[in-house]
Structure 1
C-alpha cells in the first residue's frame, strides 16, 4: 500500500511556460485554500516542485474521467440520466467555486 497514487503534470523549461505554471500554481493554491474539506469537486492540488528547471504539479489521482466512464458504462446507449444529473451537479458546484474565487475556466 504505502504512498497514495498521484498524477503529475510536467511543465517543461522555458520562460513563457514557467510563468504560466506559476500563475496556475497560484490559482490552484487559492482554490484549494478556499475548499479545505475538498467538497467543491475540483481536483485536489497536493504540491509542486522544481527539478532540472522543470515545474512539476502533483494532484490526487482520479479513477476515471467522464470520457472513460461513458466508454465503459454507456457503450452505444449513453449513461443513466441519474448519472448525468450527478455529473452536471458536480460540474456546476465546481464552476460556482471557481467563480467565487474569481477564476474563469476557459478549457471546459
Structure 2
C-alpha cells in the first residue's frame, strides 16, 4: 500500500477519535527507521490508548498489520509502527518534554 494512503488512514483514525495537534513529519533522509512520523496528542491517558487502538483497527481494516506498538502500559506516549509511517500519540506533557518536532527539525507554529 502506498505511504500516502497509510497516512490518510491514520489521519482518519486520529480525526475520528478527536486527536489534537496532528502533525506529519517527513523524515526521509534523516531517519533510517521510517519515512514519515505522524504525531498527535490525546486529552487523557485513556484517550491516548483509545486513539492508538483505533489506528490499529482502521489499519487492519485496510488489510495491513502494524509491525508493532509500544507504550500501552504507560499511555503517556504510545507508538504504532506501520513501517514507512510511525505514529506517536502522546499526552501534552510528554509531547512538550520530548518535542519530537524540534528533534526532527520541524519548528512548531507560533
TM-score (normalizing by structure 1): 0.35
TM-score (normalizing by structure 2): 0.34
In terms of Rg, which structure is larger? Answer: 1
Report the structure, 1 or 2, having the larger helix content.
1
Structure with the greater relative contact order (CA < 8 A, sep ≥ 6): 1 or 2?
A: 1
Report the structure, 1 or 2, having the larger strand content.
2
